[in-house]
Structure 1
Amino acid sequence: MLLGPVLLKLVAILCVIALGYVVGRARWLGDNDPARTLGNAAFYIFVPALLFRTTTRLDIGAMPWGTLIAFFVPVVALMIGVYAVLRWRLQPGEPVAGPSVRSISACFGNTVQMGIPMAAAMFGEAGLSIHVALVSLHALTLLTMLTAFVEMDLARDRVRQGGGDTHVGRMLLTTARNTVIHPVVLPILAGFAWNVLGLPLPGLVDETLLQLGQAVVPLCLVLIGMSLAYYGLKGALRGALWLSALKLLVLPLAVLVVGHWGFGLTGLPLAVVVMAGALPVGNNALIFSQRYRTLEAEATATTVVSTILFAASAPLWLWVLSLIR
């Protein structure tokens, strides 16, 4: 019964993705790569507005830090592990940003449009408050780290090709600058600085950011459908399946093991973090891949496949949690 609202939300998400697919197939927005234009709009306008407003409104003192650490330790460990293995196995001619793009697909969950209604439906207000605290640090932690990884890889690649600064200090400085002056990282850092200083957001600014942020979810879902229409699943399905398996099975298992046996979580906090780990791939995976023009078809396919398979994997994890005492 508790899964009812979540499944309804999942079907609605798939319907919006299907609408984007129809728009892409029919070329209603023209033939001049409108998916990339929408992706850039999301990346440079709407997502930064949402992230800045979210971080300025955090109640940092009320954060359940122990529970959050129990979640992010296995998530970050798996993300770094996937990145390290793929970076080690990277072959000449393969995209340099590939390891980072695949790492985000394996670890970045749909914590907002799927996670929030799931937490509200299954765990009530107490569980939702834990989940919202997790959401507030989700993008900051994962996107900041992956941005640093990919920018360092790109800097090293430019040096190898003779087009970059070979001085280690200047290369690190350039990487740090590209990591901070970034459409995702910068608004998060600015939002936290605003929050720490205790500055109020003027009413007009807050309302403007709210309006921009509300466009993120429908825009990104339509973008996924359009990208699926343009790229298709051919050649991307195999990658989408193993990345979905990492996201839907390996990651929540890691969160369960570390959270319960490592940090002693039980009951509601354990259930919330495990189900957060079990969420399908979030829209930021596609936006990240478009930012670096790498594996866009695979990121699209992984988002769609993991969202569909979540209907089967979510009840599995709820059953597993019912066995934990």
Structure 2
Amino acid sequence: MDATVISSLLPVVVLIAAGYLAGKRGWIGGKSVKDLSNLIFMLLAPALLFRSMSTVHVEQLSLRPVAAYFLAAGLIFAAMMLWRGFNRTAAVLALANTYSNTVMIGIALVGLAYGPNGMVVLLTLISLHSLVLLTSATVVLELAVAHEHAALSGVGRQDRSAILRTLGRALRSAIIHPVPLPIIAGLLFAQTGWTLPEAIDTPIRLLGQAFSPVALAMVGVTLALTPVGQHWRGALVQALFKNVVHPLLTAALGWVLGLRGLPLAVMVVAAALPMGANVFLFSQRYQVAEELVTASVVVSTVLALVTLSAVMALVGYL
């Protein structure tokens, strides 16, 4: 098994295990999980996302290599929504099938395996990854919430103006939201050419650095507090979609689009990365499939020890 893959994935497994131990020993109780989720979603994640986007200049982005990644993700997301229906559960699981852990695992892995040239390709993806996938998922989820509320209230067919009002509320909720808003704000800030004063940048950087370890530890805490064993089959299906189907479809579409060599290799490896912790946070925020998503993140990460090694061995032939 590739030592680079193991060295990149092992810290993730250890952090989840540490959270699991904290949950099992009762250091963190079930009532605290919601508060931790709010801390991560409302404070740590916005700091990380804003700072990550605050140095990205639109004219420097090469969008062609990431087209295959997002096209594959879009097809998988749409297929999942068609299969499971238009609801919150389907949207969260579709996000789980397409959202990679590009930051905590991807940066270390690609940097070690493909060097500076590979990092340029990956950072182009990272600069758009959350903006495209999380914002799109948020719009779908907010529309699904509006649809479910309408169904529960007994509202039947809506006229065109009512549908437009619902869409407007959903789009507003999707933008005034702790994930897309800091991404958009950071991207706009970057275009000004300004830099953050150190007194402001330092606390934002420290908050952002806390995101990954705290979020992964919370996955472990939730794992310890919920009966995940009964979800292992569903978790394995979700993990196989993310770890196997996503990179295979990305490779096929990239080949069709004329991509070859390093750009295609990096995109396929990025698609093969396990699920990112943001998927777990979305399931917590929208209160759907929490146990299944928790199990899926863990299974996907552990399975990646094998699937990533295989993908990295095979992309050399592309």
Residues 1:244 and 2:239 aligned together: yes
Letter in 2 for 1:276: A
Q: Which runs of 5+ in 2 are unaligned?
A: none
Residue 71 of structure 1 deviates from its aligned partner by 2.0
Query: Alignment partner for residue 135 of structure 1, among 126, 134, 138?
Result: 126
Higher helix share: 2
Q: SS state of the match for residue 158, structure 1?
A: helix
Kindly indicate whether the alpha-carbon contact (under 8 Å) linking 1:6 and 1:117 is maintained by their aligned counterparts in 2.
no
Letter in 2 for 1:125: P
Query: Alignment partner for residue 228 of structure 1, among 206, 223, 229?
Result: 223
Residue 321 of structure 1 deviates from its aligned partner by 1.7
Residues 1:84 and 2:82 aligned together: yes
Deviations 1:77-123 (A, max 9, x none): 212222232116xxxxxxx4101110111111111111111101110
2:42 corresponding residue in structure 1: 44
Residue 141 of structure 1 deviates from its aligned partner by 0.5
2:58 corresponding residue in structure 1: 60
Deviations 1:298-318 (A, max 9, x none): 111111001111111112212
Query: Alignment partner for residue 188 of structure 1, among 183, 203, 222?
Result: 183
Deviations 1:183-240 (A, max 9, x none): 1011111112222333332222211210110000110111010010011323321211
Query: Alignment partner for residue 219 of structure 1, among 200, 214, 221?
Result: 214
Residue 278 of structure 1 deviates from its aligned partner by 0.4
Kindly indicate whether the alpha-carbon contact (under 8 Å) linking 1:232 and 1:297 is maintained by their aligned counterparts in 2.
yes
Residues 1:28 and 2:27 aligned together: yes
Letter in 1 for 2:276: G
Query: Alignment partner for residue 160 of structure 1, among 151, 167, 172?
Result: 151
Q: Distance in 2 between matches of 1:6 and 1:241?
A: 20
Query: Alignment partner for residue 309 of structure 1, among 260, 282, 303?
Result: 303
Kindly indicate whether the alpha-carbon contact (under 8 Å) linking 1:104 and 1:285 is maintained by their aligned counterparts in 2.
yes
Deviations 1:245-281 (A, max 9, x none): 1011110001000111x21111111110000000011
TM-score computed with the length of structure 1 as normaliser: 0.92
Kindly indicate whether the alpha-carbon contact (under 8 Å) linking 1:155 and 1:164 is maintained by their aligned counterparts in 2.
no
Kindly indicate whether the alpha-carbon contact (under 8 Å) linking 2:5 and 2:309 is maintained by their aligned counterparts in 1.
no
Kindly indicate whether the alpha-carbon contact (under 8 Å) linking 1:106 and 1:281 is maintained by their aligned counterparts in 2.
yes
TM-score computed with the length of structure 2 as normaliser: 0.94
Residue 163 of structure 1 deviates from its aligned partner by 7.8
Q: SS state of the match for residue 129, structure 1?
A: helix
Q: Distance in 2 between matches of 1:161 and 1:34?
A: 30
Closer, same or farther in 2 for the Cα pair 1:185/1:163, shift >3 Å? farther
Kindly indicate whether the alpha-carbon contact (under 8 Å) linking 1:231 and 1:297 is maintained by their aligned counterparts in 2.
yes
1:13 corresponding residue in structure 2: 12
Residues 1:319 and 2:313 aligned together: yes
Letter in 2 for 1:151: E
Q: Distance in 1 between matches of 2:227 and 2:218?
A: 13
1:144 corresponding residue in structure 2: 135
2:3 corresponding residue in structure 1: 4
2:283 corresponding residue in structure 1: 289
Moved over 4 A (4+): 163-166
Q: Distance in 2 between matches of 1:127 and 1:133?
A: 10
Which range moves more in the overlay, 32-41 or 20-29?
32-41
Letter in 1 for 2:22: V
Q: SS state of the match for residue 114, structure 1?
A: helix
Residue 59 of structure 1 deviates from its aligned partner by 2.9
Q: Distance in 1 between matches of 2:227 and 2:111?
A: 34
Closer, same or farther in 2 for the Cα pair 1:54/1:230, shift >3 Å? same
Q: Distance in 2 between matches of 1:110 and 1:281?
A: 5
Q: Distance in 1 between matches of 2:209 and 2:5?
A: 20
Q: Distance in 1 between matches of 2:308 and 2:292?
A: 23
Q: Distance in 2 between matches of 1:65 and 1:313?
A: 26
Residues 1:102 and 2:93 aligned together: yes
Q: SS state of the match for residue 109, structure 1?
A: coil
Letter in 1 for 2:305: A
Letter in 1 for 2:17: A
Measured on the aligned residues, the alpha-carbon RMSD in Å equals 1.7
Letter in 2 for 1:17: I
1:267 corresponding residue in structure 2: 261
Deviations 1:13-35 (A, max 9, x none): 21111110010111113x35222
Kindly indicate whether the alpha-carbon contact (under 8 Å) linking 1:108 and 1:285 is maintained by their aligned counterparts in 2.
yes
Show the 5 A alignment for 1:250-261: 250-260=245-255
Q: Distance in 1 between matches of 2:154 and 2:20?
A: 39
Closer, same or farther in 2 for the Cα pair 1:107/1:121, shift >3 Å? same
Q: Distance in 2 between matches of 1:83 and 1:99?
A: 6
